[in-house]
Amino acid sequence: MGQLNRAGTAGGVIDSVRDFTEMWVRLPISGEGSVLSLFRVGELMSYNDAEKAMYRLAASDESRHVTFGVRHLQYLSQTDPDRTAEIHGYLD
């Protein structure tokens, strides 16, 4: 995992991104994807039903953010194929 930036996310500095697409790769897909994994593990390690429910709800919310980012990239690659290499560069 890369070095954390000022905003505390992996993948680069979020306040210096070029456009919406780069922001969504760096924050929701890279950063929130990791947080989503933590919530899933939290649910598995919970001590009671209340904790399980909280982790499950938080994971569901993070999942929506990650899904939005992935769908945005899918849409962009279909509507502007010239940016496919750029998107792969962000993900690398």
State pLDDT tens for residues 25-84: 777 676 777 888 899 999 999 999 999 999 999 999 988 888 888 888 888 889 999 988
- Give the residue extent of every domain in the chain: 18-91
Matching residue, tokens 């792969």: 88
Q: Can you list the alpha helix ranges (DSSP code H) found in the chain?
A: 20-24, 32-45, 49-79, 84-91
11: left (phi over 0), alpha (psi -120 to 50) or beta: left
